């Protein structure tokens, strides 16, 4: 059993509004993000094999309307026009993920060059347009063959990930400086193996905690593998959907509930990755589910190695109290909302709707949470540069008669959150860039195509792309380094 440590993480009160105009440092990266399964399509081309998301989305009842990523927005074939569009929108960075089963179809063994070639061409296209690429190695699409061998609850999957990381690092390390090992391992572990609302759809509490540990191990092994083959100037990071967990009241029972969820949401990853130990309180909270005996000697050293940066994905805060059956059921989709708690041993915690305006996902709009999160990790990991690797909102966007798509709510969301980032920089945080989720409308996992997160509208019949007014607003921010007013088009 590893030694435990839990840092003190006081909750900050959000400070006053920023000065106007809101101006960013010249080197700040103005990016947008996507992931392979959500945009690429071409699922059976050039040797790609099914990932757990192909299997899951093709299983009746798992996604809204039975929708799949078979075609998605056909980025695999349209990447050139998509990169040209990014350049037209003034983006200076682009975060995308590599499909593991496109480059290593069985999840082990030699790489498929034609699969890697797609990413080589994409990266070269980006560089030619002056756009900085940021690669995520794993955005939830485990090759199905590895799931059949046990998936993330099996230790071997972490070693397979390291092998895959080395392959991609060797192929692209000469031209990509920004690397992210995993996207939101919380979702892979707890939504994939706990609540089962994400692929592979298992509902096994003990397996979800084993998966969490092996994802941490994969991050550590993958970081070493990347560093063994890449130039030292390259940055290695991880993207976490760390939760801003707030207690409903200052009642000690509610505060204790918030601490418990903070361990299950944040401590389980930040503990080993940033501090070299799982929180002792996490072991206590999960004692009835697992004994953590799969944490082997030396694992924590592998996981806890210096990173070059931390990626934070933020959408909305989480509000909890001690359970009270009268107050309604738990929520959990990784961003503070949904029907089933994915956490083992959290039956004594109730999750609540946070106040304020809500997006189409039902998530409340609360930029103060982003500021709070950045400041927390500025204290927890001093000196580590931070990137906001995802932030954005889904709205029910509809083209007007003239074909334009006006989305003032998204503009307000982006402005509010970017202003919160700027406040954090003023308060001493080293935030180097922001990646809007998402570049364009895409396959929103279990929600299929019904939730539109894009700054660019996609007509799913013609696959035509139309920048929404938020994309033009963001372009002005990116080109000037100053946030335009909300009503500026």
By rule CB under 6 A, what string of x and - marks binding of each residue 11-50 to ligand FCB? ------------------------x--x------------
Whether residue 144 is annotated as binding a ligand: the answer is no
Whether residue 437 is annotated as binding a ligand: the answer is yes
Among 317, 334, 336, 484, binds ligand FCB (CB under 6 A): 334
Q: By CB under 6 A, tell whether 184 contacts ligand FCB.
A: yes
Residue 15 burial by Cβ neighbours in a 10 Å radius (0-12, 13-18, 19+)? middle
Taking the least distance from each CB to ligand FCB, the nearer of 302 and 310 is 310
Whether residue 315 is annotated as binding a ligand: the answer is yes
Whether residue 104 is annotated as binding a ligand: the answer is no
How far is residue 359's CA from residue 365's CA, in Å, rounded to a whole number? 7
Quick one: residue 392, left, alpha or beta (phi over 0 = left, psi -120 to 50 = alpha)?
Answer: left
Whether residue 275 is annotated as binding a ligand: the answer is no
Among 57, 63, 101, 183, binds ligand FCB (CB under 6 A): 183
- Kindly determine how many residues on this chain lie close enough to bind ligand FCB according to the rule CB under 6 A: 13
Taking the least distance from each CB to ligand FCB, the nearer of 169 and 454 is 454
Q: By CB under 6 A, tell whether 318 contacts ligand FCB.
A: no
Q: By CB under 6 A, tell whether 143 contacts ligand FCB.
A: no
Q: By CB under 6 A, tell whether 99 contacts ligand FCB.
A: no
Taking the least distance from each CB to ligand FCB, the nearer of 24 and 445 is 445
How far is residue 182's CA from residue 139's CA, in Å, rounded to a whole number? 6
Element at 319 (helix H, strand E): strand 318-322
Q: How far is the CB of 354 from ligand FCB (least distance, A)?
A: 17
Taking the least distance from each CB to ligand FCB, the nearer of 28 and 445 is 445
Quick one: residue 199, left, alpha or beta (phi over 0 = left, psi -120 to 50 = alpha)?
Answer: beta
Q: How far is the CB of 345 from ligand FCB (least distance, A)?
A: 23
Following DSSP, what letter does each residue of 85-135 receive, concatenated?
HHHHTT-SEEEEE--HHHHSTTSSSS--HHHHHHHHHHHHHHHHTT-EEEE
Structure token pair of residue 269: 């990853």
Taking the least distance from each CB to ligand FCB, the nearer of 92 and 183 is 183
Per the DSSP assignment, residues forming a β-bridge with 96 are 135
Q: How far is the CB of 45 from ligand FCB (least distance, A)?
A: 22
Peptide bond into 200 cis (omega under 30): yes
Among 314, 437, 457, 474, binds ligand FCB (CB under 6 A): 437
Taking the least distance from each CB to ligand FCB, the nearer of 278 and 443 is 443
Q: By CB under 6 A, tell whether 263 contacts ligand FCB.
A: no
Cα of 443 vs its chain's centroid, Å: 15
Query: What contacts 407, CB < 8 A, 6 or more positions away?
Result: 395, 397, 468, 469, 470
Q: By CB under 6 A, tell whether 397 contacts ligand FCB.
A: no
Q: By CB under 6 A, tell whether 457 contacts ligand FCB.
A: no
Radius of gyration of the chain, Cα coordinates, nearest whole angstrom: 21
Among 24, 152, 445, 473, binds ligand FCB (CB under 6 A): 445
Q: By CB under 6 A, tell whether 390 contacts ligand FCB.
A: yes
Q: How far is the CB of 482 from ligand FCB (least distance, A)?
A: 27
CA distances to 72, 102, 129, 171 from 40, in Å: 6, 11, 20, 20
Whether residue 138 is annotated as binding a ligand: the answer is no
How far is residue 81's CA from residue 421's CA, in Å, rounded to a whole number? 30
Q: By CB under 6 A, tell whether 200 contacts ligand FCB.
A: no
Per the DSSP assignment, residues forming a β-bridge with 64 are none
Q: Which of 315, 457, 308, 269 is nearest to 387 (CA)?
A: 308
How far is residue 201's CA from residue 221's CA, in Å, rounded to a whole number? 26
Per the DSSP assignment, residues forming a β-bridge with 331 are none
How far is residue 103's CA from residue 92's CA, in Å, rounded to a whole number? 26
- In total, the chain counts a number of residues equal to 489
How far is residue 437's CA from residue 89's CA, in Å, rounded to a whole number? 15
Q: Catalytic residue numbers? A: 184, 390
Q: How far is the CB of 140 from ligand FCB (least distance, A)?
A: 7
Using the contact rule CB under 6 A, the part of the chain among 69-77, 153-161, 182-190, 226-234 near ligand FCB is 182-190
Beta-carbon count within 10 A of 175 CB: 12
Taking the least distance from each CB to ligand FCB, the nearer of 377 and 453 is 453
Q: By CB under 6 A, tell whether 453 contacts ligand FCB.
A: yes
Using the contact rule CB under 6 A, the part of the chain among 69-77, 179-187, 245-253, 424-432 near ligand FCB is 179-187
Whether residue 475 is annotated as binding a ligand: the answer is no
Q: Say how many Å lie between the first and final Cα of the chain, rounded.
A: 57
Residues at the interface with ligand FCB (CB under 6 A)? 35, 38, 183-184, 187, 241, 313, 334, 390, 437, 444-445, 453
Residue set of the binding site for substrate: 38, 139, 183, 315, 437, 444-445
Q: Could you tell me which residues are annotated as the binding site?
A: 38, 139, 183, 315, 437, 444-445
């Amino acid at each position: 059993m590893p030694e435990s440590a839990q840092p003190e993480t006081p909750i900050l009160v959000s400070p006053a509004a920023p000065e106007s105009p809101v101006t960013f440092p010249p080197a700040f990266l103005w990016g947008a993000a996507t992931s392979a399964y959500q945009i690429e399509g071409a699922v059976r081309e050039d040797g790609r094999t099914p990932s757990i998301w192909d299997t899951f989305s093709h299983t009746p009842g798992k996604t809204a309307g039975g929708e799949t990523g078979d075609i998605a927005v056909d980025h695999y074939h349209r990447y050139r026009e998509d990169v040209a569009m990014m350049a037209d929108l003034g983006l200076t960075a682009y975060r995308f993920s590599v499909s593991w089963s496109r480059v290593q179809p069985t999840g082990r063994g030699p790489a498929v060059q034609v699969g890697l070639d797609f990413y080589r061409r994409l990266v070269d296209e980006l560089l030619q347009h002056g756009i900085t690429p940021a690669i995520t190695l794993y955005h939830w699409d485990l090759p199905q063959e590895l799931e059949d061998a046990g998936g993330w609850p099996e230790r071997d999957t972490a070693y397979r990930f390291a092998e895959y990381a080395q392959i991609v690092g060797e192929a692209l390390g000469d031209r990509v400086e920004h690397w992210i090992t995993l996207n939101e391992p919380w979702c892979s572990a707890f939504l994939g193996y706990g609540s089962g609302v994400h692929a592979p759809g298992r509902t096994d509490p003990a397996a979800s905690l084993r998966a969490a540990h092996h994802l941490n191990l994969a991050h550590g092994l993958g970081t070493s593998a990347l560093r063994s083959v890449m130039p030292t100037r390259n940055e290695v990071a991880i993207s976490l959907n760390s939760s801003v967990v707030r207690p409903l009241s200052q009642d000690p029972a509610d505060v204790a509930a918030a601490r418990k969820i903070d361990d299950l949401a944040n401590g389980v990853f930040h503990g080993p990755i940033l501090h070299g130990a799982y929180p002792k309180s996490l072991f206590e909270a999960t004692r009835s589910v697992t004994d953590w005996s799969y944490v082997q000697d030396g694992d924590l050293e592998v996981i806890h190695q210096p990173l070059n940066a931390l990626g934070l994905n933020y959408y909305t805060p989480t509000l909890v109290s001690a359970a009270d059956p009268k107050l309604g059921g738990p929520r959990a989709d990784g961003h503070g909302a949904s029907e089933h708690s994915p956490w083992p041993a959290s039956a004594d915690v109730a999750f609540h709707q946070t106040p304020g305006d809500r997006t189409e996902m039902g998530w409340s709009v609360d930029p103060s949470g982003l500021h709070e999160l950045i400041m927390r990790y500025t204290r927890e990991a001093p000196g580590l540069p931070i990137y906001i690797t995802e932030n954005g909102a889904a709205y029910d966007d509809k083209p007007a008669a003239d074909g334009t798509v006006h989305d003032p709510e998204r503009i307000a969301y982006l402005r509010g959150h970017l202003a919160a980032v700027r406040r954090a920089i003023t308060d001493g945080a080293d935030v180097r860039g922001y990646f809007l989720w998402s570049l364009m409308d895409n396959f929103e996992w279990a929600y299929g195509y019904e939730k539109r997160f894009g700054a660019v509208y996609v007509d799913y019949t013609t696959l035509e792309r139309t920048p929404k007014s938020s994309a033009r607003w963001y372009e002005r921010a990116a080109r000037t380094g100053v946030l335009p007013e909300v009503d500026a088009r």
